Amino acid sequence: MAMISSEIFPICTYLPAKSLYRFKAVNKGFCNLLEEGFFLVNHVHNSLKRDDTCFFLQLERPCNEEVTLHQLPSRQGAGVSGEVLQFLSKSSQILASIKGLILCRTTDKTPSEFYICNPATKSRLPISLPTHDENLNTRAHVMIMLLECYDEFDDYMVVHFETPTDWSSDYACKILKPREGSWKTMEKGFCAGGRNMKFNMPVHDNGVIHFISDCGSYITEVSPYFEPYIMSYSLNNGTSTMLKLPKIARKSSIDKKCDMNIFNWGKVSMASSSICLVRLKRSTFKVWILKDYKTSRWRRIMKIKTKKMGLKEKYPTITGFTVMNGELLIFATEKYIYSCGLTGENYMKIEEICENKCKYYVSLTSYMDTLRPCGPGATLLPC
């Protein structure tokens, strides 16, 4: 610490983990700096103000295939070593990511195990699920997700939903904050309505989690759940509330060829945030932004056909898509990964990011490298 001047110290708290580890190799003062509690607190706090710089690419279904990391356009920094990527490829499926931490599910163990990991620091923290059901993995009755707390400790939380055995019952919800060390059971469960929900794509905003339903045709027209919808769940009081999708988005959406997902909208530097809805149907992307939460009023910001994007493929098949940093639509074809700008001077600007070696349906998980601790009891990765 003595070798790091007071002028350099605050600058270092804004640097990505990759840069700090490079300095550590040439300056012994950084060896102690990266382990100091005061520095870590400031570094984590500042990292919450930055956008993600890259994303993990893997097959949607776990099968021990290669996990790769790719930079977003005009971004620098990855901060994950080849040995960590190799470890993840052989043993894990990445489920979620928040500001330097990823939630993983093991693919080389039965039953599967869950853990929080910081790929940059090569550390992990096992997560023990609040259930003793030995048949849990065969029934796939658990949805587990990683959410930001935005509290005074810059903490995170793990949210666990368990599918009811009775279809008319609610999803039991439990919350774990690693700093507290124990699961808290919510008094009210999550009411999902009559449709299956996409639990793998939650949108967390102001203490409320939002999920979008699927677009299957298994609901009768007389049901209030006939058309796709968003259902929210308050982590404060356990209230479940339905949020309507745009009328145009709901129209003709009861189709196997229609895919709709929701994402966080708004950069981390902005005071307000919202929800972004993306619909892909018949090779056409449509994107809406939620403008008024109470009245479910949406505004469409983009409509574009894939054949007019100038892609390398003449008739591309979209195998996955997501929105990152509230400004980029990232999508995969069977051969390549592309980005499409949603705001500002990059609006509708198409860029090729990399080749898609997975080919089939993929998962795209945004990421940034930080020194963020996994929590008490974390250990080093075996790699």
88 φ/ψ angles, rounded to the nearest 5 degrees: -65, -40
Measure Cα distances from 378 to 127, 130, 175, 176 in Å.
Answer: 10, 19, 19, 15
Closest CA to 366 of 163, 32, 152, 97: 97
Task: State the average pLDDT over residues 77-96.
Answer: 90
Residues 101, 373 contacting (CB under 8 angstroms) = no
CA distance 107 to 93: 7
| CB 291 within 8 Å of CB 285 | no
* Band (152; pLDDT cuts 50, 70, 90): low
CA distances from 235 to 176, 186, 209, 279, 349 (A): 12, 8, 7, 27, 38
Segment holding 33, helix H or strand E: helix 29-33
Asked whether residue 342 carries a pLDDT value surpassing 80, the answer given is yes
Distance CA 65, CA 86 (A): 10
Ranges of beta strands (E only) in 218-273 are 230-234, 240-243, 258-265
Q: In what order do the strands lie in the sheet with 274-281?
A: 258-265, 274-281, 284-292, 297-305
Residues of the chain with CATH 2.120.10.30: 50-373
Tokens representing 192 are 């999902």
Poorest-confidence range of 180-184, 293-297, 347-351? Answer: 180-184
Rounded to whole angstroms, the Cα distance separating 291 from 299 reads 7
Q: Which of 338, 95, 61 lies closest to 201, judged by CA?
A: 95
8 Å CB contact between 124 and 374:
yes
* Share of residues in the chain with pLDDT > 90 (%): 55
Q: In the prediction, which pLDDT does 43 show?
A: 86
Q: Write the single-letter amino acid at 101.
A: L
Mean pLDDT of the chain: 86
> Where does the pLDDT of residue 137 fall: very low under 50, low under 70, confident under 90, or very high at 90 and above?
very low
- The predicted model gives 72-86 an average pLDDT of 85
Share of the chain above pLDDT 70, in %: 89
Is the separation of the CB atoms in 119 and 79 below 8 Å?
yes
**Does 56 have pLDDT greater than 80?**
yes
Q: Give the CB-side neighbour count of residue 107, counting CA atoms within 13 A.
A: 19
Q: What is the pLDDT of residue 140?
A: 39
> Are 383 and 86 spatial neighbours (Cβ–Cβ below 8 Å)?
yes
**Other CB atoms within 10 Å distance of the CB of residue 289:** 17
Determine whether domain 50-373 maps to CATH 2.120.10.30. Answer: yes
Decide if 213 contacts 225 (C-beta within 8 A). Answer: yes
What is the rounded average pLDDT of the residues 165-179? 84
List pLDDT tens digits, range 303-326.
999 999 999 998 899 999 999 999
Question: Could you tell me how many residues make up the chain?
Answer: 383
